[in-house]
Amino acid sequence: MDDVSFVIPNYNGEKTIVKAVKSILNQSYKGRVEVIIVDDFSKDNSTKIINLRFKNKKNVRLIKSEKNLGLANSLNKGIENSQYDLIGILMCDCELASRNWLRNMVKTINSDKKIGSVCSRYILPESVWKEYSFFDKAIFAREYYLSVTGKKKGGKHALLRKDILKEINGYDAKSFRIAGEDVDLMSRIMEKGYNVVLTSNKIMHYHVYYRLNLRKHLFNKALPIGEAIGVNFRKHGFKSMGNKYWNAFTATFIYIGLFIPVIRWFSLIIVIFSGLIFTGYFLKYSRDVKAIFLPFFKVVKDIFNIIGFWKGFITNRQKL
Amino acid letter at 195?
Answer: N
Summarised one tens digit per residue, pLDDT across range 12-52 is: 999 999 999 999 999 999 999 999 999 999 999 999 999 99
Q: Tell me, what's the pLDDT at 103?
A: 98
Q: CB under 8 Å to 173, separation ≥6 — which residues?
A: 69, 70, 72, 73, 76, 181
Q: Which CATH class is domain 4-210?
A: alpha beta
- 173 vs 73: CA distance, rounded Å: 5
pTM for this one?
0.94
Mean pLDDT of 204-208: 83
Report residue 98 CA to chain centroid gap: 20
pLDDT of residue 284 exceeding 90, the answer is yes
Q: Tell me, what's the pLDDT at 212?
A: 78
Cβ atoms of 140 and 281 closer than 8 Å: no
Instruction: Report angle CA 204, 96, 191 to the nearest 5 degrees.
Output: 90
Summarised one tens digit per residue, pLDDT across range 157-198 is: 799 999 999 999 999 999 999 999 999 999 999 999 999 999
Across the chain, what does the average pLDDT equal? Answer: 95
Mean pLDDT of 115-131: 92
pLDDT of residue 315 exceeding 60, the answer is yes
Cβ atoms of 92 and 77 closer than 8 Å: no
- Every domain of the chain and the residues it spans: 4-210, 215-315
Residue 209: band (very low, low, confident or very high) from pLDDT cuts 50, 70, 90: low
pLDDT of residue 208 exceeding 70, the answer is no
Helix, strand, coil percentages, rounded to 5, for the chain: 50, 15, 30
Q: Percent of the chain beyond pLDDT 70? A: 98
Mean pLDDT of 238-247: 89
Q: Percent of the chain beyond pLDDT 90? A: 88
- 239 vs 116: CA distance, rounded Å: 18
- 183 vs 228: CA distance, rounded Å: 9
Listing DSSP states for 199-256 in one string gives EEEEEEE-GGG----HHHIIIIIIHHHHHHHHHHHHHHGGGG-S-SSSSHHHHHHHHH
Q: Tell me, what's the pLDDT at 190?
A: 96
Q: Tell me, what's the pLDDT at 157?
A: 79
